[in-house]
Amino acid sequence: MKAVKKSKKLDNVCYDIRGPVVDEADRMERDGIDIIMLNTGNTAPFNLNAPDEIIQDIKYNMKTAEGYCNSQGIFSARKAVVQHYQTKGLMDLKVDDVFLGNGVSELILFCMQALLDNGDEILVPAPDYPLWSAAVNLSGGNAVYYTCDEEDDWNPSLSDIASKITPNTKGIVVINPNNPTGALYPREILEGIVDLAVENDLIIFADEIYDRILYDDNVHIPMSTLTEDVLVVTLNGLSKSHRIPGYRVGWMILTGNKEGAKDYIEGIKMLSNMRMCSNVPGQHAIQTSLGGYQSMNDLLKPGGRLYEQREIVCKRINAIPGLSCVKPKAGFYVFPKIDTEMFNITSDVQFALDFLKEEHVLMVQGTGFNWPNPDHFRIVFLPHPEDLIETMDRLERFMATYRQE
């Protein structure tokens, strides 16, 4: 038969968190080489396990989870999401404004597919979580990148956002807390984004999956609490905060000006209906997870595992000549900067491959997050402290002699 080619819709799609460098790591593992995997925020391999009560609740409800449920999700789980946001001051949210999904990833695709026609534009942060860019491109739209400023704690540049808005712009993506930088945006930045959205009639897409993974007494401000004048689509879930990424438990809430977005919301409902429903057993984790004791908090305070792992990585990176990083305020990631002249680096993909082959550590190059220059990479600080110390030893050894050819 003749060659079968992939869809042209995939021409501008990349997801290098699981890309060519990962393929090489897989090949090396098949050859019997042990690789330290620092490419994803997958908690399970690092023994960051789900609370026992979540497992117990899913087991208890398994018999009642055999069939399809309402396409937007089971009532008790959606009600729990509503009550969770009431504690944040969002009092007008209704159960019908909540959609449950197979993780936030599925819901990101719903958001874009229901909205975009060919040539429409969505403002996306640089660096971004690359699924957003992929979803925009797959839906026929164009991702237009606004700059997050490393010199300003990786906060979005409001002037750059304003300069990128055109008549084709349909919405703006705000990833807060940010992946890959770990930035947490202050109120004045968020309010500035809201002002631009209101002025230009843009939908705000708020990716807040890391909102409960905060360090140093930082406080997250939900975008949904800042405006009623435009539609705000908030996406969140349990993958990170409750260490159950494999259960695929996410939700989306619609707030703000829903009256003017009735047709768009109908499109989201159509897509929700087409997939029947999301994973029903996983939905039974939501009510338990959003109430009561939050075990993640113990990991985030001084002496807690995640807090101490962040400290190890940031101190070690900033001590290596030619590397520097802004300490993350949230999440599981550090996004170090490389002095490219010092190491003669012109390709960050090659840098990641060279490090993988020489030191058997897998990380993701900065351009994999749609950062325009080959001068950053992302490190996941989920491994145990002793493993992170070993990783930093390898990175320091590698950088001491590395020069890209």
pLDDT digits (tens, 9 = 90+) for 297-312: 999 999 999 999 999 9
pLDDT digits (tens, 9 = 90+) for 352-397: 999 999 999 999 999 999 999 999 999 999 999 999 999 999 999 9
Q: Dig out the tokens for 338 from the structure.
A: 């490389």
Which amino acid type is present at position 117?
Answer: D
pLDDT at 35: 94
Domains of the chain: residue spans and CATH: 8-49+298-401 (3.90.1150.10), 52-290 (3.40.640.10)
Q: In angstroms, how far is the first alpha carbon of the chain from the final one?
A: 42
pLDDT at 405: 85
Please say whether the dihedral angle defined by the alpha carbons of residues 341, 342, 344 and 349, taken in this order, is positive or negative.
negative
Mean pLDDT across the stretch 242-263?
96
Strand partners, 200: none
CA atoms of 80 and 55, how far apart (whole Å): 18
pLDDT digits (tens, 9 = 90+) for 154-208: 999 999 999 999 999 999 999 999 999 999 999 999 999 999 999 999 999 999 9
User: Considering only CA atoms, which of 366, 372, 361 is closest in space to residue 398?
Assistant: 361
CA distances in angstroms from 339 to 369, 377, 399, listed in the order given:
18, 12, 11
- pTM of the predicted model, to two decimals? 0.95
